[in-house]
Structure 1
Amino acid sequence: NRRKADMIEFMALTGLRYGELIALREEDLYEGYINVNGTIDFRNGSYSTVVRTTPKTKAANRNIALSNRAVNIIIKVLQENQLYKLTKEYTDLGYIFTNTSGLPIDYRTFEPCLKNAAKFAGLQKPVTSHYLRHTHISFLAELNIPIKVVMDRVGHTDASTTLQVYTHVTSKMKESLKDKIETIDY
């Protein structure tokens, strides 16, 4: 499913929680960034009842700068939604990442696609949407982005939460350290 593939990539590019992703509305888009100000939780078991609530924490209310690729995904999805809106089945609730009827995509339909994609990619460990959030934080760590900036971007209030992921030193970072140590002039 192409829509779900776009969602996976967008989450890896932004570090959004799944509920934050599907709660994004067109009105949350600004030039070059998104305003994260809500979440949707399907734990009530009713897929047809969409309840948008406040984010997980106060810090989860944030603006996230978007890369060009992330902007292109949003544009593509919005264009697809315009086509969906031409059908009788689509009810426009303003959400971006919707199914063909206009409802935010339920995690119960997203998760199997994510697991299949991970299996197809040869990943042996269990992959969840939160794995994509950790991937984003790891990307930022490799770029040597300061921890406070990362915390603000992903909506963490406790540095230890971010550090748990951030301190997973990647092989690229280890190699970079080795190269930098070689430049020390004793």
Structure 2
Amino acid sequence: MTKKQYQDMLNDLKGADNTLDGIHRTGRMIFKKAIELDVIKIDPTQYATVPKTQRTVEEIENKKEIPKFLEKEELALFLKTAQQQGLEGDYLIFLTLAYSGIRDGELCALKKTDFDENEFTLSITKTYYNPTNNVLKYTLLPPKTVTSERKIELDPIVFAELDKHLAKQNEVKMRYRKTYHDKNFVFVDMLKKHGYPIYIKKIENRMRRLLKLAGLSETLTPHSLRHTHVSLLAEAGVPLEDIMDRMGHKDDDTTKNVYLHITKTKKKEASHKFGELMRNLSVK
């Protein structure tokens, strides 16, 4: 396959951006392996770009479909349930997802060195890939996009819980030191495959369990916590550009949709206040 044939294929599939991103990532892995095995000499995906569907601001604002996310009261309930009724590691897992907005694959790949307890920052440099859900057969890949590699600030509450978690993890590591998979991962299997990173499906299953216990919608997923993070940042008045940077997005319609949905009420309030101000001036 030539570079032109591969790019033409991507262009022909243009339409569903998220699906196309996945196809391109898979293609890159396939041809990278082909290079490693000397099946081919030139990688046709090397300079390929995923065509994006350009939409107007009006189209984004008028789009009715808003991704599912938790209101702040619901998030507080969910995290309280995780803290009180969660399985081993649940509270830190969902606390980290909720307070950082990172993807679940990025969370699974986190290592201790990614957390800077002096600066209270978290570095995202890789993502976890394991399509078979076999805990032993995982792969670490570069982040989803170039902008996905980032450093974000985290609330000290996450680091406080991290310290507790790592203390327990160290006990398990010492107990099974001869067989422990010591690769510095933070979120690991501490019951059977000691030290191996947890897989995404397990996070989904644990979240569903907690949602049921909390009486919240079981259709929510770990990715919903990412949307929740965006919504709360928007509600707090953080500019869209800063949110996109924190989320590792160069441009993302879903983030814009959530942002516009949340800030719509604030825009109405601003307009109302301006009108009231002018009316008061007119009276005088």
- The TM-score, its normalising length taken from structure 2, stands at 0.60
CA shift, 1:4, in A, is 1.9
Does 1:14 find its partner at 2:100? yes
Separation in structure 2 between the aligned mates of residue 84 and residue 176 of structure 1, nearest angstrom: 52
Query: Unpaired segments of 5 or more residues in structure 1?
Result: none
Residue in structure 1 matching 2:173, options 82, 85, 104? 85
User: Contact 1:77–1:97 at 8 Å: present in 2 too?
Assistant: no
Task: Within 5 Å, give how 1:28-47 maps onto structure 2.
Answer: 28-30=114-116, 31=118, 32-47=120-135
CA shift, 1:44, in A, is 4.1
Does 1:54 find its partner at 2:142? yes
* Secondary structure in structure 2 of the residue aligned to 1:90: coil
Does 1:181 find its partner at 2:272? yes
* Secondary structure in structure 2 of the residue aligned to 1:109: helix
Identity of counterpart residues, as a percentage?
A: 29
Residue in structure 2 matching 1:154, options 225, 239, 247? 247
Separation in structure 2 between the aligned mates of residue 159 and residue 13 of structure 1, nearest angstrom: 20
CA shift, 1:65, in A, is 0.3
CA shift, 1:169, in A, is 2.1
* Deviating 4+ runs (over 6 angstroms): none
CA shift, 1:10, in A, is 1.1
Say if 1:123 and 1:79 are closer, same or farther in 2 by CA, change over 3 A.
same
User: Contact 1:19–1:39 at 8 Å: present in 2 too?
Assistant: yes
Separation in structure 2 between the aligned mates of residue 74 and residue 180 of structure 1, nearest angstrom: 44
Instruction: Name the counterpart of 2:262.
Output: 169
**Higher RCO structure, 1 or 2 (CA under 8 Å, sep 6+):** 1
Say if 1:6 and 1:29 are closer, same or farther in 2 by CA, change over 3 A.
closer
Task: Within 5 Å, give how 1:118-129 maps onto structure 2.
Answer: 118-124=211-217, 126-129=219-222
CA shift, 1:168, in A, is 2.6
Separation in structure 1 between the aligned mates of residue 147 and residue 130 of structure 2, nearest angstrom: 22
CA shift, 1:138, in A, is 0.8
RMSD: 2.2
* Secondary structure in structure 1 of the residue aligned to 2:261: coil
User: Contact 2:92–2:161 at 8 Å: present in 1 too?
Assistant: yes
Residue in structure 2 matching 1:63, options 130, 135, 151? 151
- The TM-score, its normalising length taken from structure 1, stands at 0.89
Instruction: Name the counterpart of 1:95.
Output: 185
CA shift, 1:34, in A, is 1.0
Query: Unpaired segments of 5 or more residues in structure 2?
Result: 1-86, 279-284
Separation in structure 2 between the aligned mates of residue 175 and residue 164 of structure 1, nearest angstrom: 15
CA shift, 1:120, in A, is 1.8
User: Contact 1:20–1:40 at 8 Å: present in 2 too?
Assistant: yes
Separation in structure 2 between the aligned mates of residue 78 and residue 176 of structure 1, nearest angstrom: 44
